[in-house]
Amino acid sequence: MSTIVNRRDLEFQLYEVLEIQQLFDSKRYGDFDRATIDEMLDGAEDIAEQVFLPLAGRLDNNEPKFVNGMAEMIPEAKDALDAYAAAGFFSAGFDEDVGGLQLPYVVNIALNGLFGAANNALYGFPMLTVAAANMLNTAGSAAQKALFLPPMLEGRWFGTMCLSETQAGSSLADIRTRATPRSDGTFSIRGTKMWISGGEHELSDNIVHMVLARLPDAPAGVKGISLFIVPKFRVNDDGTLGEHNNIVLAGLNHKMGQRGLPNTVLNFGDSGETIGHLVGEAHHGLGYMFHMMNEARILVGQCAATLGLTGFLHSLEYAKGRPQGRLPDNKQADSSQVPIVEHADVKRMLLSQKANVEGALALILYCALLVDRLKLEQDAARRRRLELLLEILTPIAKSWPSEFCLEANKWAMQILGGYGYTRDYPLERFYRDNRLNPIHEGTYGIQAVDLLNRKVRMDDGAAFSALIEEIASTVAESVDELREEAEQLRRCVELLEQTTSGLLGCEDARQRLANATPYLDAVGHIVVAWQWLRQANVAERQSAAGNGDRSFYEGKVLAARFFFRYELPKVIPGLELVASLDRTALDFPVAGFAPE
């Protein structure tokens, strides 16, 4: 059994639940068929297993060192990323016109999930590079694209996103980095950026930083932020590398996890001029960044889910092989110990993982397919509906896996007991790695406000309605065997609608948003329950049609049942709390926490 992927489940999600083969009927994706996709997944699995996976523990044990102003990494990291590049995975998701394979996004996500599961920190490099290239491809000029995209898509130059500053992490409105126009149309960049993943290293020939900065005439707040391409080495018009662009590594952050990916403090323009190139229109930088950030958020959710998955598979393997204790009704002290997978509590911890992880993966792939469907959809109204669905699901796809697949990693460690707490097994690393996900790319609390304050109210509630309709349609189409679960979900959705309408009626913004996080928790659970009902319906139908794999389908249906019995009921007290517009936290006097 692979410890990075359950291919049977992935195929179930892609071909049986999402039916991505329908994409192949389109002109855009007409070159693909299932055999091609499966071969690509095979190839990715090989590289992930053979090159990324063996390096994960070593990278964790050898975090980047600050040496001579550089972030020094173990050399095998470059070999592994070169293998990823050589297989064409940097460019696979891009359109053919810029040299890509035009791979459906949903497949590209699935494929990259193998690398995320095998070596989450190392996967950060291509993930960030592709995100930066995507942004360039969307917002850059033809000349910028011609100059920067090819080496990025070949994996020769890597990319970063430079948003945060020490005083502005969650509040991008407060960034201070300045961009001053130069006579040749470029800009002089000055400032310090914080939390820049992959900000410095020697794994690629150049690093293309996508930097948010303010022009001299910029209005205050988020409407005065522009986006710049700021390469580590300046780039000549013929694409060759010029001088160092005076970006100085000011420090490395020493993280709890994700140690294979240097996280840096970068000074721009402090020791010589740093030149940047404006992307798109001035003051529109945040919009461009968020275009990319939305995809990045889905990818964060996926990283969380794949870390959860590998933890699940590891702990399952361990539980099958580890004898310990006897079943409760066996009083014979001299009988053999049973493998712990036979203990109900261990099964519960495995099922909890399966339910959270496969529910999260289903949600991520569903969102990814929305991106593909958007590209194919011609009808404007249907396009808008897909857009709205993607908008409202994005904060959930980012947050829910980050929280509940971290929880899955906790159970994986627990199954291994003391062994899980040691560094001889990778479980504690998964747990440390995953702890980043509720923090970066917008914290859990930020996503909660995004959901409740923006997405739920978007287009007069059209995004929220679209989501409710999708869930209702799954409920309506459910097979008889899942009537009870469908009805339970329907009642939860009803409560969610009532709660949401009560919240929106509250005119005090502080009060309305005070419990945004419990609201996100509840919506997340409902959305994942919906994803499970979708899966269980397919599994029941396949099973009834006699399509083999009985124990696989049975496992899916039972995992769905588990989620509905053990997890979904938590939504009720959660939504009741939110509906009460409780002010306990909001009004709590700071002096009451503890004496000075």
Nearest residue (CB) to its own copies, 371 versus 406 = 406
Tell me if residue 19 is catalytic: no
Which one, 234 or 314, has the nearer CB to its own copies? 314
Q: Are 457 and 504 in contact (CB under 8 A)?
A: yes
Instruction: Please identify, using beta-carbon distances, which residue of 474 and 517 lies nearer to its own copies.
Output: 517
329 is an interface residue for its own copies by CB under 8 A: yes
- Select from 16-24, 117-125, 206-214, 342-350 the region that touches its own copies (CB under 8 A): 342-350
Of the candidate spans 28-36, 141-149, 171-179, 201-209, the one that interacts with its own copies by CB under 8 A turns out to be 171-179
Residue of 50, 170, 473, 501 that binds its own copies (CB under 8 A): 170
Contacts of 466 (CB under 8 A, 6+ apart): 385, 388, 389, 392
Separation CA 261–CA 377 (nearest Å): 37
Under a CB-based contact definition with an 8 Å cutoff, are residues 518 and 574 in contact?
A: yes
Q: Does the protein bind its own copies through residue 586 (CB under 8 A)?
A: yes
Nearest CB to its own copies, comparing residues 54 and 219: 219
178: contact with its own copies by CB under 8 A:
no
Question: What would the x/- binding string for its own copies be over residues 307 to 326, using CB under 8 A?
Answer: -----xx--x---x--xxxx
Q: Give me the least distance between CB of 508 and its own copies, in Å please.
A: 8
Distance in angstroms (rounded) separating the CA atoms of residues 402 and 303? 8
Q: In 3D, which of 303, 302, 313 has the Cα closest to residue 364? A: 302
Q: Which is nearer to its own copies, 108 or 537 (CB)?
A: 537
Residues 6 or more apart whose CB falls under 8 angstroms from that of 168 comprise: 174, 175, 176
Establish if 256 lies at the interface with its own copies (CB under 8 A).
Answer: yes
CA distances to 1, 2, 52, 54, 87 from 45, rounded to whole Å, are: 13, 9, 10, 13, 12
Which of 30, 239, 272, 569 touches its own copies by CB under 8 A?
Answer: 569
173 binds its own copies (CB under 8 A): yes
Bridging pattern class, strands 206-213 and 157-162: parallel
Here's the x/- map for its own copies, 392-431, by CB under 8 A: it reads as ------------------x--xx--xx-xxxxx---x--x
For tokens 């099922």, the residue is 351
The secondary structure of residue 337, as a DSSP letter, is: P
345 near its own copies, rule: CB under 8 A: yes
For its own copies, give the closer residue by CB, 90 or 519.
519
Of 546 and 595, the one with the shorter C-beta distance to its own copies is: 595
Range 222-241, binding its own copies (CB under 8 A) = 222-223
Q: How far apart are CA 66 and CA 58, in angstroms?
A: 18
In the complex, the smallest distance separating the C-beta of residue 175 from its own copies, rounded to whole angstroms, is 12
Q: Does 70 bind its own copies (CB under 8 A)?
A: no
- Note whether 580 binds its own copies by CB under 8 A: yes
3-state secondary structure 530-582: HHHHHHHHHHHHHHHCCCCCHHHHHHHHHHHHHHHHHHHHHHHHHHHHHHCCC
Q: From the CB of 167, what's the least distance to its own copies, in Å? A: 7
- Please state, in angstroms and rounded to a whole number, the distance separating the CA atoms of residues 11 and 107: 11
Site for its own copies in 102-161 (CB under 8 A): none
Residues 295, 441, 485, 567: which is the catalytic one?
441
Q: Near its own copies by CB under 8 A, which window of 252-260, 294-302, 359-367, 486-494?
A: 252-260
Counting contacts by CB under 8 A, is residue 505 touching its own copies? Answer: no
Judged by CB under 8 A, the residue of 144, 164, 245, 434 near its own copies is: 164
Report the Cα 324 to chain-centroid distance in Å: 36
Q: Which of residues 360-399 bind its own copies (CB under 8 A)?
A: none
SS3 for 392? helix
User: Which of 34, 65, 182, 254 touches its own copies by CB under 8 A?
Assistant: 254
Q: Which stretch binds its own copies (CB under 8 A): 74-82, 344-352, 372-380, 391-399?
A: 344-352
Give whichever of 185 and 592 is closer to its own copies, judged by the CB atom.
Answer: 592
Of 491 and 510, the one with the shorter C-beta distance to its own copies is 510
Q: Which of 186, 188, 443, 465 is the binder for its own copies (CB under 8 A)?
A: 443
Q: Rg of the chain over CA atoms, in angstroms?
A: 24
Near its own copies in 181-210, by CB under 8 A = 194-195
> In whole angstroms, how far apart are CA 424 and each of 58, 256, 313, 429, 541?
12, 17, 16, 10, 43
Smallest distance, Å, CB 65 to its own copies? 14
Cβ-Cβ contacts under 8 Å for 184 (sequence gap 6 or more): none
Interatomic CA distance for residues 432 and 409, integer angstroms? 9
Residue 218 makes contact with its own copies by CB under 8 A: no
Closest CA to 401 of 108, 120, 94: 120
Which is nearer to its own copies, 193 or 277 (by Cβ)?
193
Alpha carbon separation from 185 to 201, 331, 542 (Å, rounded): 29, 83, 61
B/e letters for 349-377, b = 16+ CB within 10 Å, e = fewer, are bbbbbbbbbbbbbbbbbbbbbbbbbbbbb
| Options 31, 174, 243, 487; binder of its own copies; rule CB under 8 A | 174
The residue from 22, 50, 138, 167 that contacts its own copies (CB under 8 A) is: 167
Reference 188, options 273, 246, 247; nearest CA is 273
**Residue among 227, 208, 333 nearest 280 (CA):** 227
Tell me the two tokens of residue 304: 């969380």
Contact 503, 512 (CB under 8 A): yes
Which residue lies nearer to its own copies by CB, 79 or 508?
508
Residue 78, token pair as written in the block? 């470059």
Hey, which residues between 525 and 564 contact its own copies (CB under 8 A)? 551-552, 554-556, 558-559, 561-562
Binding part of the chain for its own copies, among 89-97, 125-133, 146-154, 250-258 by CB under 8 A, reads 250-258
Residue 22 within binding range of its own copies, rule CB under 8 A = no
Q: Report yes or no: 536 and 557 within 8 Å, Cβ to Cβ.
A: yes
Task: Select the span of 64-72, 182-190, 334-342, 527-535 touching its own copies (CB under 8 A).
Answer: 334-342
Options 39-47, 51-59, 99-107, 164-172: segment touching its own copies (CB under 8 A) = 164-172
Query: Among all residues, which ones are annotated catalytic?
Result: 441
